[in-house]
Amino acid sequence: MKKRTPVQLPEEIYPDDPWVLLEDQFAPDFLYLTETIFALTNGRIGVRGSLDEGEPNHVVGMYINGFHETWPITHAEKAYGLAEVGQTMVTVPDGTLIEITVDGEAFNLPSVEIIRCRRWLDIQRGMLERDIAWRTKSGVTVELRFLRFVSLDMADLLASRLEISVDRPAEVRVVSRLRNRLDAGVGEGEPDDPRRAKQFTQRVLEPRAATLADLRFVQAWVTAHSRMGLLSGMDHLLSGPKPRISLDRSAMDFGFEFEWSLTPYAGATIDKFVVASHNGDSPGLDERQAIGEILDRAIQRGLPTLAADHEAKLREFWNENDIVVTGAGIETQRAIRWTLFQLHSNSACLQNASIPAKGLTGHAYDGHYFWDTEIYILPFLIYTNPDVARRVLSHRYAMLEHARERARTLSHDGILFPWRTINGHEASAYFLAGTAQYHINADIVYSIRKYVQVTGDREFLWAMGAEIVLETAKFWHDLGFYRSDHFHIHGVTGPDEYTALVDDNAYTNAMARMNLRYAFEVASELSAEEPERWEALREQVGIADGETIDWRLAADAMYIPHDRDLGITPQDDDFLEKEAWDFESTPESKYPLLLHFHPLTIYRFQVLKQADVVLADFLLGEEFNDELKRANFDFYEPLTTGDSSLSASIQAIMSAELGYHKAAMRHFHHALFMDLGDIAGNTTDGVHMASAGGVWMALVYGFAGMRDVRGTISFDPRMPKEWSEMKFSLHIRDTVLSVGLSHESITLVTTEPIEVIVDGETHLVAPGGGTVVRYQT
C-alpha cells in the first residue's frame, strides 16, 4: 500500500480535545479542509462548514439528500444500453449568510484587525460555534458570537444565532441572506478530477412563487430538467434594541437588512431559521403552507428549545453508541468521535433516500449512492440504529422496478441495481468500472442478510427483502454458466477498479455464491413459515418449480479461482498472468494512478485500487481458512495502492485477525485520519463516508474481533497493545450489548439474555451486573 503523509493540523491552531475540534485562530490556509470537517447535517439536509459571512471560501454548499438535476450523458461513440442521463446532487439556496458592517466597514476576516478568533465544532452537542473580537478602523471593538446547527429533531431545519455587541456607540448593519449560489456560479466548466461533481453551464433553478411576510421569506423553485420542486425559506427572531428593517434583493438572493445605532452593553441578537425541502413536482400552495408551518413551529419553540431538543437527540446517540478507547491519546479519541458523529449525522433523519458517497458534506461523485453504503456503512447502522438501516434497505427496494428494467436492457433475468444513482436509474457513463460491477447485487443481499440475522426483522424480509434476494438469485443463475462441472461468471469487474471486465472475479463469484445460497435458504424458510404467503411471493417473482434447487446447485458448483503454487486465491482467471506494477519507479506525485495513467495501462498490471480478494476474506470469513487468508493478504497487500479510501479499514481488520499488529495500526490510522489528515488529498470534496464506516468496522470487527456469522455474536479480541481498554455497545435484536475490552478479559452487559462466543467458548450473558470472560491474547 502506498504510504501517504497526513496533513498535520498545527496544535497551536487546533489543540487536542476529546470532544471538540477547535480552530484557535483564523487559518485561511485550512479553509479547504475545515469546510468539510466542520460540516453539519442530519441526513436530510446538510451544510458545509463555510464562514457565516460567506467570504473567504473554498467550496460553499447546502444540500438536500436526493435533490438533483439531470443532464444528457454525451458518449463519443454510442452503444446500446449505455447510461444516457446523468444525475447530480445540486446545492440549494444558501441560508447561512450573515453579512456584517460596522461604521461602514465590512466584516471580512482577511482584511479586518482581529483581536480574537476562535471556531469550534462541539461533537458532543452537534454545534458549530465562533467567538470573534475585531477592531474597526473607527476604533470600535466588536464582539461576535455565532452558533449553527442542523436539527436532529426538525429534519428540514437549519438554525443559527448571531450575537453582536460593541464597546462604544456604532452604526451596525446586518444583512441576513438566502442566496442561490448554484446559478451564480454557472459556466465554470468541468472539473479535471472525474470524482468531482459536474459543473452546470446553464441555469438549474427556475424561480416560482415567493411569499414575503414580516421577517419571513419563502421561495419555490423547479429544476430545469429533472423538474424537481424545491422550497427554501428563512425566518427570524430578534432581541435587543429594535432595528430599522429594509429589504435587499437581487436576481440571485434575497436579504433582510437590519440596522442599529448600538451602544455599549446593549447588544443585538438575530436567531435565523432556514428550511429546505423538496418534492417530486412543482411546489404548490399546499407545499408552501407546509414550509410555513415548519417555520411557525421553529419560531414558537425558539432557538434555545430547538437547540436543547437537538442536543438531547445527540446525547441519546452518544449514551448508547460512543466508542471509548483508553490509552490511545486525545487525538485518536477525538478522531473516533468525529467519525461516529459523521456517520450518525449523515443518516439520522434519512427518509426515502440513502447515504451519498460524501454524505451531505460535499457533492463529489455527484451525490450518488454506491455499494459503499451497504458494505461499509450498513454494519454501523445495523448495530447502532437499526431503524435507519431498514430505511436504507427500503430505499433500495423502492428502486426495484428500475433494476428490473436495467436487467432487461442488459439481457438478463431478475434485477440489476445501478452502480451509481440517485433516482434509481444507472448514471455510470464508464461501464467498465461502473455497470460491470455486478457484485453490487450481492452486496445489497449481503446487507439484507446481515440486517435480518442481527435484528430478527422477519417482516422486512417478507415485505421487501425476500423479493430482492430472489430476484438477484435469478440474475446470477442467468448470468453464469456451467463448464467442466463448475459454474462460472465471466465479463465482470470486481471491487478493484484497476482491473476490469475479467472472468471469474473471485470476490464476485464468492458473493454470488452467498446470494444464491441465501436465496435458497429464504425460499425454504418462507415456504415453511407461511405457505400461502410464499406462493403469492413466488408467483410475483416468477419462480418456476425446481428453480430454487437450481440456485443451490449453481452455488455449490461456483468456481472460485485457486493457485496451488502460490497457495492464494487469484483475483480473477488472468490476474496472475500480468506483470506487477513498478511501485519503486512510481513517484508519489503520480498517485492516484487514475489521474495520471490511461485505464488500459493500469489494466495490464497487477495493481489494486481497492481491496478485492482481501475484502471477500473478511466478509465471507467463514468460507476461507486461516492459511489461505494469510497467503492472500501477504500477496495482495504490496499490490494495493492507497488510491481508494475503501481499502485501509479492510486491511486493518484483516491485519488484526492475522496478528499483524503494526500493520493493523498503520492501516487503522490511515482510515481514521482519511479526512482529518486529508490523506487522499481531497477532503475538500467532502467526508469519505465509506472510510468512516470502515473505521467503525476496524474497531469492532478488527480490534474487538467481533464476528456475526448467521447472527451469532462472537469475539476474538485483537486490541492494540498501546491501548488499555475499549468500550462500545451493539444493538442485537431487542438487546443492547455493552462491551468492555481489556488485554485479559471482556466484560459483557446486556439488557436481555443473549449467547455470546468468546475465544471459541459460548457464554450465556444475563441482564445484571455484567459477565466477565477471560481470554488468551
Q: Report the C-alpha gap between 330 and 338 in whole angstroms.
A: 12
Question: Is the confidence at residue 3, as pLDDT, over 60?
Answer: no
Q: Report the C-alpha gap between 166 and 11 in whole angstroms.
A: 31
Which pLDDT score, from 0 to 100, does residue 281 have? Answer: 62
Q: Which residues of 516-532 are buried (b: 16+ CB within 10 A; e: fewer)?
A: bbbbbbbbeebeeeeee
**Closest alpha carbon to 4 in 684, 682, 658, 602:** 682
Q: Are 321 and 340 in contact (CB under 8 A)?
A: yes
- Whether 55 is catalytic: no
Q: How confident is the model at residue 187 (pLDDT cuts 50, 70, 90)?
A: very low
How many residues does this entry show for the chain? 777
Which pLDDT score, from 0 to 100, does residue 145 have? Answer: 98
Q: What is the pLDDT of residues 54-97, one digit of tens each?
A: 999 999 999 999 999 999 999 988 999 999 999 999 999 999 99
| Contacts of the segment 745-751: beta carbons below 8 A, 24+ positions apart | 745/772, 745/773, 745/774, 745/775, 746/715, 746/717, 746/772, 746/773, 746/775, 747/771, 747/772, 747/773, 748/772, 748/773
Which pLDDT score, from 0 to 100, does residue 50 have? Answer: 97
End-to-end Cα separation, the chain, in angstroms: 27
Which pLDDT score, from 0 to 100, does residue 188 have? Answer: 46
CA distances from 8 to 18, 460, 676, 771 (A): 17, 46, 9, 42
Q: Report the C-alpha gap between 162 and 164 in whole angstroms.
A: 6
If one compares 715 and 188, the residue with the highest pLDDT of the two is 715
Integer-rounded Cα radius of gyration of the chain: 27
Residue 659 neighbours by CB under 8 Å, 6+ apart:
718
For helices 531-541 and 506-529, what crossing angle results, to 10°? 140
Question: What DSSP assignment string belongs to 753-775?
Answer: -EEEEETTEEEEE-SSS-EEEE-
Q: How confident is the model at residue 194 (pLDDT cuts 50, 70, 90)?
A: low
Q: Report residue 125 as a C-alpha cell.
A: 452537542
Q: Are 118 and 23 in contact (CB under 8 A)?
A: yes
Q: What is the pLDDT of residues 49-65, one digit of tens each?
A: 999 999 999 999 999 99
SS3 502: strand
CA distances from 638 to 336, 508, 584 (A): 27, 22, 11
Which candidate in 53, 99, 257, 497 is catalytic? 497
Question: Is the confidence at residue 517, as pLDDT, over 50?
Answer: yes
Q: What is the pLDDT of residues 20-45, one digit of tens each?
A: 999 999 999 999 999 999 999 999 99
Question: Is the confidence at residue 197, as pLDDT, over 80?
Answer: no
Q: Report the C-alpha gap between 20 and 337 in whole angstroms.
A: 9
Which pLDDT score, from 0 to 100, does residue 282 have? Answer: 61
Q: Are 469 and 518 in contact (CB under 8 A)?
A: yes
Question: Is the confidence at residue 117, as pLDDT, over 90?
Answer: yes
pLDDT average, residue stretch 171-178: 98
Positive or negative CA dihedral for 511, 515, 521, 522? positive
25 sits in the region (left: phi over 0; alpha: psi -120 to 50; else beta) called beta
Q: What is the pLDDT of residues 316-339, one digit of tens each?
A: 999 999 999 999 999 999 999 999
Question: Is the confidence at residue 113, as pLDDT, over 50?
Answer: yes
Strands 481-483 vs 735-741: parallel, antiparallel or unpaired: unpaired
Q: How confident is the model at residue 4 (pLDDT cuts 50, 70, 90)?
A: low
